[in-house]
Structure 1
Amino acid sequence: MQKIEWKRTKRFKPSEWPGDATEHMNPDLFNELFLLRDLVPSWCSMRPSPVYGAHVRPDGSSRHSTNGNSRLSDATDLFASWKAVWLIWQQACRMDFGGIGLYLDTQLGGKQMPMIHLDMRKNRVMWVRHNGQYYYYENDPVIFFKIIAEYGKNQ
């Protein structure tokens, strides 16, 4: 079984993910995540969500699911500052991540902060969540980019 090569990065540590989450996560996700971290400016910090289920879930249909330990999760959710999340999102779109979700209505430590979901599904799916509502690029790219533009100019 392939292991996560933590020595490939100085910008992430296993302890940043809650509990034993990384033991149930696909190393391919981390290979891409480490590359992403290296490609964005060093001030663009990314903080893994402190919620275990943002990385690993025992069942369900999401990319976080291990389906009862029959597969590894290939998804993670990361918080970033408003300024950094736009650069992270743009770079992620140029990479091999399949699912890229931007959550504009999340909080970390009681403070509003955007979160980015990244996963390794085969086909590209992009979405933005605003006020609890999901908007998918493939369904309506105009609304998708309108929401992103509105948040971008107000931050």
Structure 2
Amino acid sequence: MPASDLDFSLVDYFSRGEFPGDVLNHVESDLVLGLSEYRKRLGKQVQPSSVVAGWYRQGGRKGSRHYAIERLSDAGDVFPQCDIRDALLVAMGCDWWGGIGVYLDTNGNDGTPQPMLHLDGREERVVWMRYKGRYIYPLRSESEREEFWKRLSEVSDG
């Protein structure tokens, strides 16, 4: 069911107006409900990306979780308003997120550099990081795992 069909009075932590453009017509309702529960568990504000392509795309790779031609997207990009390490840990504790990506080379909704989380509903768990345009998969090799932790340790809200 598209998220546009949700009764937002039942969604505790998000309102329709937080999602840009026609995004809610193209994403799964379970994505928004999952984000609301994630926000509850995190205990911090989570800002949905203001970029439409952070929610759905009608072009590009068909394998992308954002791809929304003849299906709804089950992926979203968000900016947790806390230490990204806490946001990652809580996301990993949510069994409905299969894909969890930490992006350390993005700008937040205000245009300033801010870490972003990609969260999606794929069945298998995959964790990755993008740092300076390069993807790091911590479960692929020891060296990538070491770099993953190194880059995360460099990012903190204090």
Q: Same fold by TM (over 0.5)?
A: yes
Q: Is 1:56 aligned with 2:56?
A: yes
How far residue 151 of structure 1 moved from its aligned partner, in angstroms, is 2.0
Q: Secondary structure at the match of 2:154?
A: helix
CA 1:144–1:84 in structure 2 vs 1: closer, same or farther (change >3 Å)? Answer: closer
- State yes or no: 1:38 paired with 2:37: no
Q: TM-score, normalised by structure 1?
A: 0.86
1:5 Cα deviation after fit: 4.2
| 1:11 corresponds to | 13
2:76 aligns with: 76
Q: Normalized against structure 2, the TM-score is what?
A: 0.85
Indicate if the aligned counterparts of 1:101 and 1:126 stay in contact, CA closer than 8 A: yes
Distance, in Å, in 2 between the alignment partners of 1:32 and 1:6 is 13
User: Which of 24, 31, 37 lines up with 1:29 in the alignment?
Assistant: 31
- Distance across 1 between alignment mates of 2:120 and 2:7: 18
Q: Is the 8 A contact 1:11 1:37 kept in 2?
A: yes
3-state SS of the aligned residue for 1:53? helix
Deviations 1:76-130 (A, max 9, x none): 001133x343222111101120000111111123311111100000101111111
Match of 1:116 in 2: 117
Aligned to 2:84: 85
Shift of 1:8: 2.7
CA contact (8 A) 1:45 1:84 kept: no
| Distance (Å, rounded) in 2 between the aligned partners of 1:8 and 1:84 | 28
Aligned sequence identity (%): 34
The answer to whether the 8 A contact 1:102-1:115 is kept is: yes
| Corresponding pairs, count | 149
Counterpart Cα distance in 2 of 1:22 and 1:134: 28
Q: Which blocks of at least 5 consecutive residues in structure 2 are unaligned? A: none
Q: CA deviation at 1:22?
A: 1.0
Gaps of 5+ in 1: none
